[in-house]
Structure 1
Amino acid sequence: MTRLNYHHLQYFSAIANAGSIAKASERLHITPQTLSAQLHTLEESLGYQLFDRRGKKLILNDIGNITLGYANEIFNLGDELVNSIKNHSTDFSFRFSIGVTDVIAKVFSFNFLREVYKMDENIKLVCKETSLEVLLAELAINKLDAILSDTPLPINSPIKAYNHLIGKCGVTFFATAQIADQLSCNFPQSLNNQRFFIAGEGTNQRMNILSWFDQINVTPLIIGEFDDSVLSKYFGQAGYGVFSAPTIIENHVIEQFNVKIVGRTTDIHEDFYLISPERKVKHPAVQYLLSAGKQLFNNPII
């Protein structure tokens, strides 16, 4: 097997960032002919073209994006090594990049992710929050080490990754004390025609709750749809209606928003997954968080 030439990788990165061989050669003070030859050698060793040629411009293709992701990771590790040695530190400072789907409650993300500092208090935690689709694209090009999600990797996804179920819990419904006292006796039928806040379009939470309402023949009056679950809690706190949250964070919701429980159900549940890429070398924080996350469900303190 041909060993990777890291000089070639550095030249490739320079071309990708500059957008052309001519511009990269000016920055590196290397002739365009030499740089072009180095790129050709790298492509031959990998067995793939890394760019689509469009006139004088070079556009990264899919393989090129994956290669650039690995290159950036390699260069970041090199920078961290140099900084650790310069600081005479005996502890290597890890960088752990994780994506979090935007429907997961912030308090759960915090309690889950803070466990990583028990593994290494000097770790650099980089967290990106957006949709699963965007996060999976970044996982594919090695910008992320893992994803915390409420749904597993789609079955037909071309991305090679593992689904690790951290845990699951039921759903709790909340409202102000006055509303909760009125609705708790005949829950969940009491939610029929009641003002209700629900998660945004296309989310797993929304689909599960609407399906459950349909099964039990309950039709609440949905007066708000929010991608940010915190916003629904503020509206519920203000007395505008009922909202729901994963049971694992119910103590936090009661304390933080001064609301009461209307009722709970385990007929629907919230799932929490850690999605990790199918690599030979996994980030040590992935396995550590899996273990710590399962303990969080065994002994919930949120």
Structure 2
Amino acid sequence: MQPLNYRHLYYFWVVAKEGGIARAAERLEMAVQTVSTQVRELERSLGYALFKSVGRGIELTDAGATAAHFAEQIFQLGEALPAAVQEAANAQGVRLAVGIADALPKPAVRHLLQPAVQTPNLRLQCQEGDFDDLLADLALHRLDVVLADRPAPANPNLRVFSHRLGKSSVAWYVRADIAEKIERDFPACLAEMPLLLPTPDSAVRSRLDDWLARHGIRPRIVGEFEDSALLTTFGESGLGAFPAPELSSDEFTRSRGLALLGRCPDVVEHFYAISAQRKVDHPVIRSLLAGAEHTTA
């Protein structure tokens, strides 16, 4: 196979985005024949047809759709390159772009990042979002690391690597004034209270469901939340009791007006740092992994 000609790939990418050679030629301000020739050269070098005729138009073949997917990533990175270079040249200190999965308990994030924030002149950029979307941004090098409550799924098309960062057993909390009125001991009291839980697709939900079942508790669920910060907010409002990592206990009970109902040490949340390299070379991420033992409760 011949080395990839990125000029040919660019013309193909524009044709794919515009949906036709004539529209692509107009956008590129080039002759239709020139654009068509460039696309044929790319097909010749790859050994596969990238477009097929449909009526009076064309559409991508399966091979063309795959090529267009990769071309989109390549040229999106290319468009971001000038701004990234300028930012790097003008930046003061060390930059760390962190993706934080929605389901990751936010009070735990500070503990997880504690070894990193001690880096002198650190410029920390945090982006919260859907786990799969963050992994895609990581693979495109828009993020340096993703923090999550689960490892990255096995995917041959997604080259990312999961590193164990810590763990914490789960405890139950409720607003302090509500806790004062509870008559039954923990965990039996949970059967008489409205409960707030993570959504079923969260990593810890099945463990919580099993734990409740083992203790004969039929939960009265009044809210399910994908975003852990939103779950905590509703818990603070008094809507119900809720589970959260035990490492958050001091913060919850001292500054958030919550009471610790009880602990369930056999339900554990695991925390992961996911990187785009198996061998991490970013100095701040290395310090984060080196300090992982401090995030265990």
Q: TM-score, normalised by structure 1?
A: 0.75
Return the offset for 1:152: 1.9
Return the offset for 1:69: 0.7
Match of 1:289 in 2: 285
Match of 2:166 in 1: 167
* Counterpart residue type for residue 227 of structure 1: E
Return the offset for 1:191: 2.2
Deviation digits for residues 36-84 of structure 1, max 9, x if unmatched? 2223333444555556765525456134212321232234224433x36
Distance 1:46 1:274 in 2: 37
Distance 2:23 2:159 in 1: 35
Seq. identity, %: 30
Matched, 1:64 2:68: yes
Match of 1:298 in 2: 294
* Counterpart residue type for residue 241 of structure 1: G
The 3-state SS of whatever aligns with 2:170 is strand
* Counterpart residue type for residue 102 of structure 2: D
Query: Which stretches in structure 1 are left out of the alignment for 5+ residues?
Result: none
TM-aligned CA distance change 1:21 to 1:106, over 3 Å = farther
TM-aligned CA distance change 1:239 to 1:16, over 3 Å = same
* Counterpart residue type for residue 36 of structure 1: S
- Provide the alpha-carbon RMSD of the alignment: 4.0
What does residue range 225-240 of structure 1 map to in structure 2 within 5 Å? Answer: 225-240=224-239
* Counterpart residue type for residue 294 of structure 2: N
Q: How many residues align?
A: 292
* Counterpart residue type for residue 242 of structure 1: A
The 3-state SS of whatever aligns with 2:222 is strand
Return the offset for 1:208: 1.6
Matched, 1:35 2:35: yes
The 3-state SS of whatever aligns with 2:153 is coil
90-99 vs 255-264, which moves further = 90-99
> Could you tell me whether the CA contact under 8 Å between 1:97 and 1:144 is conserved in 2?
yes
TM-aligned CA distance change 1:121 to 1:177, over 3 Å = closer
* Counterpart residue type for residue 216 of structure 1: H
Match of 1:210 in 2: 209
Match of 1:127 in 2: 127
Match of 1:151 in 2: 150
> Could you tell me whether the CA contact under 8 Å between 1:70 and 1:142 is conserved in 2?
no
> Could you tell me whether the CA contact under 8 Å between 1:84 and 1:93 is conserved in 2?
no
Return the offset for 1:268: 1.0
18-27 vs 92-101, which moves further = 92-101
TM-aligned CA distance change 1:164 to 1:47, over 3 Å = farther
Return the offset for 1:267: 0.6
Distance 2:191 2:29 in 1: 72
> Could you tell me whether the CA contact under 8 Å between 2:170 and 2:268 is conserved in 1?
yes
> Could you tell me whether the CA contact under 8 Å between 2:96 and 2:123 is conserved in 1?
no
TM-aligned CA distance change 1:18 to 1:50, over 3 Å = same
The 3-state SS of whatever aligns with 1:103 is coil
> Could you tell me whether the CA contact under 8 Å between 1:180 and 1:260 is conserved in 2?
yes
Deviation digits for residues 261-289 of structure 1, max 9, x if unmatched? 1122321111122333468xx8854x732
